[in-house]
Amino acid sequence: MKDRIEVQLPAPGESVKEVFVSRLLVQEGDIVSKDALLCEIESDKATMEVVAPSAGKVHFKVAPQTAYPVGTVAVEIDTAFQPQATSVKVEPPQKDLKKSNPVEPAPLAEKPVGEPKKGDPEQGHAVRQGMKEFLALGLKPEKQSQESVSSQPEGTKEKERREPMSLIRKTIAKRLVDVKNETAMLTTFNEVDMSVLLRLRKEHQEAFTKKYGIKLGFMAFFTKAVERALKMYPKVNCRIDKDTIVHPDGIHVGIAVSTDRGLVVPVVRHVENLSLSEIEKEIAALAAKGREGKLTVKDFEGGSFTITNGGVFGSLLSTPILNPPQSGILGMHATVERPVAVSGKVEIRPMMYIALSYDHRIVDGKEAVGFLVEVKRWIENPEIGVLGL
């Protein structure tokens, strides 16, 4: 039809062949304006919205919570219908309101439950009050309760609710299983004294925020520590491709972000060229896009190492799982005050456990331990980054 425009499901990336329609953003038959959001789709990497190329009446050809090949006609827009400006009808005030007939209270039942004998008002009040409290607790009289219990069929189960897995969740599940089956993953641990870093943040937070318009967090420091350690132990930044070891063109750190749709890992590229403030801004922007479902395929490309921070949820210690095809992932955890030995004395210090999971096929134990020790040294002595030591 000439008056109908077909809107196809787009490809979020070149390699994406199938998308998942997560939800419809307008109702069937709605008349929408140009550039209105019609539905939301997901791929194994990103989420995006399908936009109306023209105004008109919407006719959906796809259903929510269903996967379709890229290029499927998702919506037909009938351009013969155009949105109209809505006008608010104002009712004139009524000057003379007629008095309505008073509503008579409903008569009491002839024989209500617990009705006392006539001439005994105190007993009647007590019974009625008792019944109100009894029913307010969600209880029923004994006889009625027994009947309801006996009428319930035996062996019944609570109702289960089922929902299809999104493409992002299915892809995460498959990759996690592949990591366990196809890599020789090991984890090494260390602990970091956060005293100096906490003091630096406290002393310079106000000036840093005023100058750069963003707060100074832990992630920028850990990202720079990872950058330094990867330069010293480059195998942790590499990946295996069949029988070859691939060396990336820079240090591209993925930052794990928890969203309603699952865990996503957008990438901060070339952190070796970024300052602390630039890293903080980039991480904040990617995290916001992740929570709003606006990450694109480009935001996920090229990661060579990953950092995940379970400490924001209270995790004390964990073994982070690799983000394939990468060979290393750093796990941060909660900062907790505990007694430690310092120069022969016991002191209370803010401590954090850190963990490095690595692929033992490409990274030896000595390199993995050395990498984590270097991260610890940089975090406990951030001035070495300034002095270039």
Of 256 and 103, the structure prediction assigns the larger pLDDT to 256
The neighbour count for residue 363, using CB atoms within 10 Å, is 21
Per-residue confidence (pLDDT) for residue 171, from 0 to 100: 75
Catalytic residue at 360? yes
pLDDT for 231 beyond 80:
yes
pLDDT for 139 beyond 60:
no
Among 78-82, 139-143, 292-296, name the most confident range: 78-82
- Third-level CATH fold of 4-78: OB fold (Dihydrolipoamide Acetyltransferase, E2P) (2.40.50)
What does the pLDDT average to over 241-257?
94
Catalytic-role residue among 35, 120, 178, 364? 364
pLDDT for 137 beyond 50:
no
Confidence tier at 303 by pLDDT (50, 70, 90): very high
What does the pLDDT average to over 133-159?
51
Percent share of the chain, pLDDT over 90: 52
pLDDT for 147 beyond 70:
no
pLDDT for 120 beyond 80:
no
Peptide bond into 325 cis (omega under 30): yes
* Identity of the residue numbered 179: V
Per-residue confidence (pLDDT) for residue 292, from 0 to 100: 80
Per-residue confidence (pLDDT) for residue 203, from 0 to 100: 92
- Three-state DSSP class for 306? strand
Of 150 and 340, the structure prediction assigns the larger pLDDT to 340
Contact 230, 237 (CB under 8 A): yes
Confidence tier at 104 by pLDDT (50, 70, 90): very low
Q: CATH 2.40.50.100 spans which residues of the chain?
A: 4-78
Catalytic residue at 193? no
- Third-level CATH fold of 167-387: Chloramphenicol Acetyltransferase (3.30.559)
What does the pLDDT average to over 135-154?
48
3-state helix, strand, coil in the chain (%, to 5): 35, 25, 40
Kindly state the DSSP code that residue 35 receives in the 8-state scheme: T
User: What distance in Å separates the CA atoms of residue 56 and residue 333, rounded to the nearest whole number?
Assistant: 52
* pTM for the predicted model, two decimal places: 0.66
Per-residue confidence (pLDDT) for residue 116, from 0 to 100: 46
Residue 301: phi and psi, rounded to 5, are -80, 145
Of 51 and 389, the structure prediction assigns the larger pLDDT to 51
Q: What is the DSSP pairing of strand 4-8 with strand 18-24?
A: unpaired
Per-residue confidence (pLDDT) for residue 336, from 0 to 100: 97
What does the pLDDT average to over 214-241?
95
Per-residue confidence (pLDDT) for residue 299, from 0 to 100: 87
Contact partners, residue 325, CB within 8 Å, separation at least 6: 239, 240, 241
Q: CATH 3.30.559.10 spans which residues of the chain?
A: 167-387
What does the pLDDT average to over 197-205?
92
Per-residue confidence (pLDDT) for residue 264, from 0 to 100: 81
What does the pLDDT average to over 308-333?
94
